[in-house]
Amino acid sequence: MAQTVYPAPVQEAAASQGHHNLILEDRRAMTATGITRIVSYDEYSATLETQQGSLVVGGRELQVSELSIQTGEVKIAGKIESIQYADLKESPAGFFRRLVR
């Protein structure tokens, strides 16, 4: 019996290469790709995780769509007022490992 092999999801391919894009339309709609996780969101902010760090979107009346596992895409609608990145933080184990050297 032949086994069907499916290609890796787009998200895995994009995430492994660290690709991440933003499309902002009239500060009312945003599409973000390369998202690995939605950390939190409410009507004033959304915190998303990318391979390159955290992405925080601030505004009013924000509505966040589901994360597409296939594409790593998230859509945000509302009054977008800020977009801010934060680099990945080093894990505490890495800090202590350097101290012990």
pLDDT in tens, 22-40: 999 999 999 999 999 999 9
Cβ neighbours of 71 (radius 10 Å): 14
The string of pLDDT tens digits covering residues 1-26 is 454 443 444 444 444 457 899 999 99
**pLDDT of 41:** 95
Q: Measure the CA–CA gap between 89 and 17, rounded to whole angstroms.
A: 19
Residue with the larger pLDDT of the pair 52 and 10: 52
The DSSP output letter for 73 is B
CATH of 10-100, one of 2.60.120.10, 3.10.20.580, 3.40.50.300, 2.60.40.2000: 2.60.40.2000
The pTM is what?
0.70
Question: Residue 64: its pLDDT value, please?
Answer: 96
Dihedral angle, C-alpha 6, 52, 23, 35, nearest 10 °:
40
| 47, burial (CB in 10 Å: exposed 0-12, middle 13-18, buried 19+) | middle
83/48 Cα distance (integer angstroms):
11
What pLDDT sits at residue 70? 86
Ordered by start, the domain boundaries in the chain are 10-100
